[in-house]
C-alpha cells in the first residue's frame, strides 16, 4: 500500500534545444512523480529533525522543471536540498526558485539524455521529534535490575512517511512506518542483570528535615547504576527521560515502586533513581558543642561537634551515606560572610575514619556508616556518632 503524503511532487518536462517540443509539452505540463523509494529520519538533534527521501524521477533530455510543494507540513524551506544520485556529473541542478505566496519550490534540472534518475531530497521538518522513557525492574533481592529504554516518536508534522529508517542518536537504527499525527512507542535497547546499589542518604543541606522539632533528617532512597561496560551498560550516554520503577515480588508479578526523571548520564557516570523516603532508618542531627577560640585580633576558630543518633529498624543491614556540608554548617553556626569556608577535622569524633574520599569535596564530606539490622526483639540498636569540625579564621 502506498503511504498517503501531503507533499505534492510534480515534474514539468521541456526539451531545452527544441522550441517546437516546448510548445507541444505546454498543453500537458504536470506529471505526478513516483512515490518515495526510501526515507531516513534523523532524530539525534533535539532542535531539528532531518528527513532524507529518495525517489526515481523520469527525466527527459535537456531541461526539466521539478516542482516540490507541501501543504500543511512544517518544513523549513531554506533547508531543502536536491541531489541526484544517478550520473551526478551529467545531471545538474541549473537553478532553484520559490513561487511567490506558495509552499513550494521549483528546480531546473538538466539531463544529457532521457532517463530515470534516483534523487535525494533532504529537509528540516518541525513537529516530528522524539522523547525517551525507561522501565526499570529490580530483582527481589535488589541487587540487579532490567533496564528497558523506549523511544517515543511524536509525529505532529501533518505528514506520514510510510516505512522509514530512523536513528535517534544512540542505539540501533529502526525501520518502522510513521503514520500521520501519531505517537509511537518503540523498544530501543534492553539491558539485563544491571548491578544496582540501593542507597540511603542523610544530608541536611540537600534534603532537609523530616521533623524539624525532633531534628530528624529526611532520608531518601535511591537505586544507583553506573553507565559503564563493567555493569552491562556504557554503549552510549543515557538520554534524559521518565523512569518507571518496579520490583519483582518473587511470585511472578511486579510491584510498582514509583517513577523518577532520569537525568542525562554520560558513559562512566552514575544514574540515581529516587524510590521515596525511608521510614525505617532514623537519623537525628544536633549541634552538641560550639566553642569560640580567639586566634588573632578579630579572627576566631570555632570548635563544633555535630552529633548523629542513628537507628535502623530494617531486618537487613544498611549502608548509610551521611553527608555534611561545611559551608552550610558555618551558616548554621555563624552568619553568611560570603567567603570560602576554611576548616579541618578535630582530633575527636567517630566519623573521620568512615570518610569516603572519592565522593567528598572541599566543601562537602561524605561518610559511609554501616548499620546492622534490628534485633530479634524488633528493637533497633542506636548508634551515636560525632563529628568534630574546626571552622577556621572567622569572626
Residue 265 dihedral angles phi and psi, to the nearest 5°? -125, 105
Using CB atoms within 10 A of its CB, is residue 57 exposed (0-12), middle (13-18) or buried (19+)? buried
Predicted TM-score of the model (pTM): 0.83
Give CATH 2.60.40 domain extents, the chain. 7-125, 281-394
Residue 346: CB atoms within 10 Å: 15
- CA-nearest of 322, 309, 307, 311 to 386 is 307
What is the chain's pLDDT, residue by residue, as a tens digit (395 residues)? 444 455 666 665 554 433 333 332 322 233 455 788 999 999 999 889 999 999 999 999 999 988 888 877 889 999 999 999 988 789 999 999 988 888 888 899 999 999 999 999 999 999 999 999 999 999 999 999 999 999 999 999 988 888 999 999 888 888 999 999 899 999 999 999 999 999 999 999 999 999 999 999 999 999 999 999 999 999 999 999 999 999 999 888 999 999 999 999 999 999 999 999 999 999 999 999 999 999 998 889 999 999 999 999 999 999 999 999 999 999 998 877 677 889 999 888 899 999 999 999 999 999 999 999 998 888 898 999 999 999 998 87
How many CA atoms within 13 Å lie on the side-chain side of 292? 9
Residue 385 near residue 307, CB atoms below 8 Å: yes
pLDDT at 309: 98
CATH number for the 7-125 domain, one of 2.60.40, 3.40.630, 2.170.140, 3.30.1490? 2.60.40
Residue 101: CB atoms within 10 Å: 6
| CATH number belonging to domain 281-394 | 2.60.40
Amino acid at each position: 500500500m502506498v503511504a498517503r503524503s501531503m507533499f505534492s511532487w510534480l515534474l514539468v518536462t521541456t526539451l531545452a534545444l527544441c522550441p517546437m517540443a516546448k510548445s507541444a509539452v505546454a498543453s500537458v505540463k504536470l506529471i505526478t512523480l513516483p512515490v518515495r523509494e526510501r526515507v531516513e529520519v534523523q532524530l539525534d538533534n533535539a532542535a531539528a529533525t532531518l528527513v532524507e527521501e529518495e525517489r526515481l524521477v523520469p527525466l527527459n533530455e535537456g531541461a526539466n522543471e521539478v516542482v516540490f510543494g507541501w501543504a500543511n507540513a512544517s518544513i523549513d524551506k531554506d533547508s531543502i536540498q536536491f541531489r541526484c544520485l544517478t550520473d551526478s556529473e551529467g545531471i545538474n541542478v541549473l537553478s532553484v526558485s520559490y513561487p511567490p505566496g506558495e509552499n513550494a519550490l521549483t528546480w531546473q534540472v538538466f539531463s544529457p539524455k532521457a532517463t530515470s534518475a534516483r534523487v535525494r531530497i533532504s529537509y528540516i521538518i518541525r513537529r516530528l521529534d522524539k522523547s525517551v522513557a525507561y522501565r526499570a525492574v529490580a530483582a527481589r533481592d535488589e541487587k540487579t535490575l532490567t533496564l528497558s529504554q523506549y523511544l517515543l516518536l511524536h509525529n505532529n508534522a501533518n505528514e506520514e512517511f510510510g516505512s522509514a529508517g530512523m536513528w535517534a542518536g544512540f542505539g540501533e537504527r529502526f525501520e518502522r512506518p510513521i503514520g500521520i499525527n501519531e505517537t509511537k512507542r518503540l523498544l530501543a535497547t534492553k539491558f539485563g542483570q544491571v548491578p544496582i546499589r540501593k542507597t540511603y542518604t542523610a544530608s541536611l543541606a540537600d534534603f532537609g528535615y523530616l521533623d524539624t522539632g525532633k531534628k530528624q533528617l529526611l532520608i531518601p532512597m535511591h537505586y544507583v547504576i553506573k553507565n559503564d561496560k563493567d555493569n552491562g551498560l556504557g554503549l552510549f550516554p543515557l538520554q534524559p527521560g521518565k523512569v518507571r520503577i518496579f520490583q519483582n515480588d518473587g511470585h511472578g508479578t511486579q510491584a510498582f515502586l514509583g517513577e523518577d526523571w532520569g537525568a542525562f548520564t554520560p558513559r562512566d557516570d552514575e544514574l540515581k533513581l529516587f524510590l521515596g523516603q525511608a521510614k525505617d532508618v532514623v537519623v537525628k542531627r544536633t549541634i552538641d558543642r560550639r566553642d569560640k577560640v580567639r586566634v588573632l585580633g578579630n579572627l576566631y576558630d570555632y570548635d563544633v561537634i555535630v552529633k548523629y543518633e542513628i537507628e535502623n529498624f530494617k531486618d537487613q543491614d544498611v549502608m548509610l551515606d551521611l553527608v555534611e556540608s561545611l559551608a552550610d554548617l558555618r551558616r548554621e553556626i555563624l552568619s553568611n560572610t560570603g567567603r570560602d569556608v576554611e576548616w579541618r577535622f578535630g582530633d575527636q569524633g567517630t566519623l573521620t575514619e568512615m570518610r569516603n574520599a572519592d565522593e567528598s569535596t572541599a566543601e562537602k564530606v561524605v561518610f559511609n556508616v554501616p548499620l546492622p539490622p534490628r534485633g530479634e526483639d524488633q528493637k533497633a540498636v542506636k548508634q551515636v556518632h560525632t563529628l568534630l569540625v574546626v571552622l577556621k579564621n572567622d569572626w
